[in-house]
């Protein structure tokens, strides 16, 4: 009979520490987690599960669906930020063109 060690890998512990850090708009906490962190947590969860009572398939699928949803939301947010930056540059260029095209105001 083999025994399993309850030691968590340093990478998984680091991920758990970041997960337990309060979120702030400036970053850190949940906002700093990525796909690699999800995979580390998932493999750690699978490593330490009870072989006589494995994780329910529905719970595992729900976690994966949540991660997929989070990834899609993050990608959408990045796309919207890119669009916003391009619109800001376009507006600035149009304002500069209007300033150049309009005659100077004489007192």
Domain count, the chain: 2
> What is the rounded average pLDDT of the residues 19-47?
68
Residues 88 and 107: their CA atoms lie apart, in Å, by 32
Domain C-terminal end among 38, 55, 72: 55
CA proximity to 17, closest of 30, 34, 3: 30
Task: Confirm whether 42 is domain-assigned.
Answer: yes
**Contact (Cβ atoms closer than 8 angstroms) between residue 16 and residue 41:** yes
Of the candidate ranges 7-11, 18-22, 27-31, 41-45, the one whose mean pLDDT is the lowest: 27-31
Look at the pTM and tell me if it is higher than 0.95: no
**Do residues 12 and 40 share a domain?**
yes
CB-based contact 18:37 (threshold 8 Å): yes
Range of the domain at 89: 56-101
């Amino acid at each position: 009979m083999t025994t399993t060690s309850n030691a968590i890998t340093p990478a998984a512990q680091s991920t758990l520490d970041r997960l337990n850090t309060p979120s702030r708009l400036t970053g850190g906490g949940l906002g700093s987690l990525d796909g690699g962190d999800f995979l580390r947590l998932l493999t750690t969860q699978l490593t330490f599960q009870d072989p006589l009572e494995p994780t329910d398939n529905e719970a595992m699928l729900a976690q994966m669906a949540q991660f997929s949803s989070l990834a899609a939301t993050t990608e959408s947010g990045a796309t919207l930020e890119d669009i916003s930056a391009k619109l800001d540059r376009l507006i600035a260029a149009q304002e500069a063109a209007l300033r150049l095209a309009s005659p100077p105001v004489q007192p």
